[in-house]
Amino acid sequence: MLDQICEYLREQGRAVDLFDLADALALPVDEAEAALRELLSQGRAVLSKKGKYAAPEALGLIPARAVITRSGAPHARPLDGSPEMRLSRAGELRAMHGDLILVRRGQRGAGLCELVAVTRRATEKLVGVLKMETRFLEKASVIVRRGRRKKLLRQPPEAVEYLSARPCDLHVACGIEVTGDTHGARPGDTVVLRILEWPRRHVPLRAEIIRVLGRGLDVGIQLDALIETHGLPVAFPEEALREADRLPGGVAAGDLEDRFDARGIPLFTIDGEDAQDFDDAVSLEKTGRGWRLGVHIADVSHYVRKNGAIDREALRRGTSVYLPGRTLPMLPEKLCNDLCSLKPDVDRLAMSLFLELENGKIVDSRLENAVIRSRARLTYEAVNRLFAGEESDVPDALRPILFDMDAVAKQLRERRRARGSIDFDLPEPALTLDEDGYPVDVQARVRGEAERLIEDFMLTANETVAELARHCRLPFLYRVHEKPDADRLASLALFLGNMNHPVRLGKDPHPRQIQALLDDTAGLPEEAVVRRQVLRSLKRACYMAEPLGHFGLAARDYCHFTSPIRRYPDLTAHRMLKLLLAGRLEEAQRQEAGMTELAAQTSQREFEAASAERDADDLMKAYFMRGREGETFDGVVSGVHGWGFFVELENTVEGLVHIRTLDDDFDFDETRQCLTGARTRRVIRLGDRMRVLLERVDTLACEIDFMPLWDE
C-alpha cells in the first residue's frame, strides 16, 4: 500500500487531499491516513501548509539522512544515493546525526542545502559523561539615589552551576543540559539520557537521566555506552528465549523427510580461531569432467518460524554485531552456537548448493534441502600454515582436498578477475585483548589463502543463487552495488592525477579500469590511501528488491545467501528459495510487496552495525595508544583537510596532526588535496611517508593526536 500511494503522489505532481487520494486508490480513509502518517515519518511524503499530501519532489524537497561529522559539520545524504550536500546552519531547526530530514537545494552555492523539516529522529536516547558547568546570568540593574540624582548601577552577573553531559557519540555536536532526577549520579558518571527537548539555534539539547552505566570511563563502560549510542539490542525478549528453549536439541527423524542425504560427503568448516558460529561448510569431489563444489549453509529457516518471536527479534536486529571481545548475535545462543552451528561429527540441516565446474566455469548447479555431517572444524590459521608448508594440525585425510580446493578457488578468482571484479583488500585491524577486555596489541589483519579460498566459494554461491532467483522471478533481496556517479569519478580522476597517477575513467567506466588502477599502485606508499579514495568514490552496497547488479564484483546478479545465522537478508533468501524448491512460486510471489521495505530496513541496520564496529575499533586503538605519549612512529598521510591531516600507522592506528600545532601557516588546496606552508613551502600530500610523535590520546573522544617530525 505504501508503494502504491507513493507512486500515486509522484504521478499527480501536486498536493492531494486525503479523501481524493482514498477515492482514487479505492482505500478506506482510515487505512489511507495511517499509511500516509507512516510515509510522512519516512520522508517519502510531505504535508503542505493546507493539510494536503504530496511527494517531496513535487514541493522541491529532497528526502535525506542527516550526517554530522566529528568536527560538527552537518551534511545531508539524499536517500536516492545522489551526492552528499552541506547543510546550512541558517534557521532555528537543527538535525541530529542519522535523522531523516527534508532539505531544499540552497541558492547561495553548489552543494549547499537548507533544512526544511525533520521527519524522523534517529534516536530518543543519548549516552554521556556528567559534568558540572557554570553559566553567568545577567542581573537586573538597580537605581541608586544620590541626593537629587539617580544612577543606574549594573550588578555583576550571577554564577549558576548546572549539570551537563559530554556526549559519548562524537557525532553529537551540541551542548546537553541535564535536568530532573539524577538517580544518584554524580559528575564523572556515564549515564543514559532520554531527550526531552531537541536543540535549536542558541538553545541546547535538554535531557533527563534514565540509567547510570557506571563510574569513570573504563573500556567496558565505554563499550556499553557505544552499544547504547548506536541503539543496538543486547538482551533477547523473554518470549524469544522461551521459543528457543522449545526447539529440539538436535536433528529429529522427521526432519530428514524429503532431504538429500549428504552425510557421506567429506565436508568441513574453515573459520577463524575465535569464531563462535559455523554456518557454512565446503566440500569438493572429483567428477569425470572437472569438480563438484559443495557449499553447505546452515538451514536456519527450518527452525526460525516466520513472524514468530525469534523472527521478529531477528528482523529488529537485522544482523549480528561483532565488537572487540563482545558479540551481539542476531539469534539466541541455542540457534547460533548450537542447533544451527555446523559442528563436527553431528547431523545438521543445511541448504546445499552443488556446482559442477570445468576449469573454473560453472556448467551446472543444483540446490538441495539436505542433511550433512561435518568431518572437522578447521581454522584459517591452520590451513594457511598447511599451504605455506609449515607444521599444521589439519587432519591428513583432508590435506589433499584442501590443496585441490585451493587450485579450484584460484580458477574461480581468476575468472572473476578477468571479467573486472575489484579486489580492494584494505587493511583491517586485528585486536588482541587481555582478560579484562583491554587491547594489548593491534596489528593489520593478514588475509591468507585460506580466507581467500572461502571467500571465493561464498562469492560464487551468492552469485549462483541470485541468478536463479532472477531467472525464476522470485521475490528476493539482492545485494546491489550501483554504478558510480560521474561527478564523483571526475573528482577521483583529479585526485589521482594530482598524485601522479593520471587515469581516464570516463562517465561510465568498467570495473576492470578501477582494478587496473589498484594494480598500478600496489606496493606503493600511497596504496592504502588510493584504495580508500577509490572506495569512497563508489556508491555504498545495499539490499534492494530489484536485481540491479553489483558494480564492484562486475556481477550481473548477486545476493547474500551464505550467512543466515548472522544476516536477516540471508534468512529471507533461504525462505524464498525453499518455496521455490517446493513448487510454491505463487505463494512466494505474494510476498513481493514487502521486499522493498525489508530491503531498506536491513540496509539501515547493516549500516548502523558497521558504524558501531568501526567506532569500537577506534575506541580500542585509542586505549592501545594510551600511555605511549612521547613515542615516535612511522606512518603515511591518509587524509588532508583544512584543519590538519591524518597519519595512519602500519598497524591501522590513525591520528590527527592539528594545523594549529604546526610552526607555519598552511594553505589548504581542496582540489589537489594538499597543504602548503606559506613560509617553508613544505607540501603535505596524501600518501606522503611521515615520522610522527604521539602527543595526546583521549579515550572518551577516541582521539589520537600526532606531531610531525620533519626531516630537515
For the segment 490-504, what is each residue's pLDDT rounded down to a tens digit?
A: 888 888 887 778 888
Number of folded domains that form the chain = 5
Task: Indicate if 651 and 689 belong to the same structural domain.
Answer: yes
pLDDT band at 415 (very low <50, low <70, confident <90, very high): very high
- Measured N-to-C along each axis, helices 309-317 and 238-245 cross at an angle, to the nearest 10 degrees, of 120
- Reported pTM: 0.86
Residues 492 and 571 in one domain: no
Cβ-proximal residues to 413 (8 Å cutoff; 6+ apart), any chain: 452, 456
232 inside domain: no
In a shared domain, residues 403 and 305: yes
Q: Residue 222 carries which side chain, given as an amino acid letter?
A: Q
- The span from the CA of 471 to the CA of 461, in Å, is 15
Predicted confidence at residue 712, as pLDDT, reads: 58
**Could you tell me if 203 and 168 lie in one domain?**
yes
CA distances from 578 to 257, 331, 341, 354, 465 (A): 14, 20, 20, 16, 12
Chain Cα centroid distance, residue 461: 23
**Residue 110 banded pLDDT, cuts 50, 70, 90:** low
∠ CA 685-686-690, rounded to 5°: 75
Mean pLDDT over all residues of the chain?
A: 89
Residues 370-401: tens digit of each pLDDT: 999 999 999 999 999 999 999 999 999 999 99
**136 pLDDT exceeds 80?**
no
The size of the chain, in residues, is: 712
Residues near 341 by Cβ (< 8 Å), separated by ≥ 6?
277, 278, 279, 298, 348, 565
Q: Are residues 165 and 39 in the same domain?
A: no
Mean pLDDT of 685-700: 91
- The predicted-structure confidence for 248-274, as pLDDT tens digits, reads as follows 989 988 899 899 999 999 999 999 988
Q: Do 258 and 386 reside in the same domain of the chain?
A: yes
pLDDT at 56: 81
Looking at the fold, whether 610 and 581 belong to one and the same domain comes out as: yes
Residues 144 and 44 in one domain: no
> Which grid coordinates belong to 297?
549453509
In a domain, 280, yes or no: yes
707, β-bridge pairs: 693
Range of the domain at 353: 238-455+468-482+541-616
- Res 98: pLDDT: 84
Residues 359 and 443 in one domain: yes
Q: Nearest 10 degrees: CA dihedral of 541, 544, 548, 552?
A: 10
Looking at the structure, tell me whether residues 449 and 476 fall in a common domain: yes
Are the CB atoms for 221 and 190 separated by under 8 Å? yes
How far is residue 555's CA from residue 151's CA, in Å, rounded to a whole number?
83
pLDDT tens digits for 12-54? 788 888 888 888 888 888 888 888 888 877 777 877 777 888 8
Shared-domain flag, residues 185 and 297: no
177 vs 46: which has the higher pLDDT: 177
Determine the Cα–Cα distance for residues 357 and 310; give it in Å rounded to an integer: 38
Q: Is residue 76 part of a domain?
A: no
CA dist 228 → 186, 193, 211, 409, 702 (Å): 20, 10, 11, 41, 16
* Residue-wise DSSP of 160-210: EEEEEEEESSTT--S-EEEES--TT--TTEEEEEEEEE--BTTB-EEEEEE
pLDDT mean over 361-374: 96
- CA 494 to CA 492: how far, in whole Å? 5
Residue whose C-alpha cell is 541530529: 96
- Model pLDDT for residues 519-575, shown as the tens digit of each residue: 888 888 778 888 888 888 888 899 999 999 999 999 999 999 999 999 999 999 999
In a domain, 333, yes or no: yes
CATH number of the domain at 37, please. Answer: 1.10.10.10
Q: Which amino acid, residue 443?
A: Q
Number of CB atoms found within 10 A of residue 489's CB:
21
**Average pLDDT, integer, range 356-371:** 96
